[in-house]
Amino acid sequence: MDHFTPASSERNLISHIFRKNEICRDTEWERYFCYKSIEVSDSYIGPHVTFPMTFCGVSKLVEAFKHKQQLHARYVLQLLGETWRLLRILPNISHISTCHNKQITICGDLHGQLEDLLLIFYKNGLPSSEKPYVFNGDFVDRGKNSLEILLILFGFLLVYPKDVHLNRGNHEDHIVNLRYGFTKEVWGKYRVHGKTILKLIQKIFSWLPLATVIENKVLIVHGGISNTTDLDVIARVDRHKYVSVLRPPKATHHAANGGKTQTMSSRNGEAGGPGGGRRRVCSMEATAHRHELPRRSLNDAPWSSQRNWSVEEELKRRRRLAGFDQSYGELKKSDSNPHFGEITDVETDVDEWKQIVDLLWSDPMPQNGCVPNEVRGGGCYWGPDITEEVLGRHNLQLLIRSHECKQDGYEFCHNRRVLTIFSASNYYEVGSNRGAYIRMGPDLVPHFIQYQASETCRELTLRQSVGWTERSALRALREQLFVHKSDLIVAFQEFDPNNKGMISLRHWASATERVLNLGLPWRVLRPQLVSSTQYGMVDYQLWIRELSITEPKLEISDNSILETMYRNHSNLETIFRIIDTDNSGLISFEEFRQTWKLLSSHLKTEISDEAIADLAQSIDFNKDGSIDINEFMEAFRLVDISAST
- pLDDT tens for residues 466-502? 555 566 677 777 777 877 888 888 999 999 998 888 8
pLDDT tens for 528-563 read 788 766 777 888 888 877 775 443 333 444 455 555
pLDDT tens column, 41-90? 999 999 999 999 999 999 999 999 999 999 999 999 999 999 999 999 99
CB atoms within 10 A of CB 259: 9
pLDDT at 58: 96
Mark whether 222 is an active-site residue: no
CA angle 538-539-545, nearest 5°?
125
pLDDT at 203: 93
Identify the top-confidence range among 9-18, 116-125, 275-284. 116-125
pLDDT digits (tens, 9 = 90+) for 345-381: 556 688 889 999 999 999 999 999 999 988 887 899 9
Is residue 516 within 8 A of residue 481, CB to CB? The reply is yes
Asked if 550 and 557 count as a contact pair (C-beta separation under 8 A), the reply is no
Q: How far apart are CA 303 and CA 158, in angstroms?
A: 47
Spatial contact of 113 and 428, defined as CB atoms under 8 Å apart: no
Distance in angstroms (rounded) separating the CA atoms of residues 146 and 538 = 46
Phi, psi of 631 (to 5 degrees): -60, -40
d(CA 31, CA 37): 11
Give the whole-angstrom CA distance, residue 156 versus residue 171. 21
Secondary structure tally for the chain: helices H, strands E: 24, 20
DSSP state at residue 606:
-
Tell me the percentage of the chain whose pLDDT exceeds 70. Answer: 67
Q: For residue range 238-250, what is the model confidence (pLDDT) as tens digits?
A: 999 999 888 776 6
pLDDT in tens, 597-611: 777 776 677 778 888
Please check the confidence at residue 333 and state whether its pLDDT lies above 50: no
pTM of full prediction above 0.85: no
Q: Are 556 and 614 in contact (CB under 8 A)?
A: yes
Distance CA 380, CA 370 (A): 7
Per-residue model confidence (pLDDT) at position 391: 97
**What is the chain's alpha carbon radius of gyration, rounded to the nearest angstrom?**
26
Position 145 pLDDT exceeds 60:
yes
pLDDT in tens, 381-426: 999 999 999 999 999 999 999 999 999 999 999 999 999 999 999 9
Residue 92 banded pLDDT, cuts 50, 70, 90: very high
Rounded to whole angstroms, how far apart are CA atoms 455 and 478? 30
pLDDT tier at 287, thresholds 50, 70, 90:
very low
Please give the average per-residue pLDDT across 242-268, as a whole number: 57
pLDDT at 281: 31
Average pLDDT of the residues in 278-305 = 32
Do 166 and 195 contact (CB within 8 A), yes or no? no
Catalytic one of 165, 171, 414, 507: 171
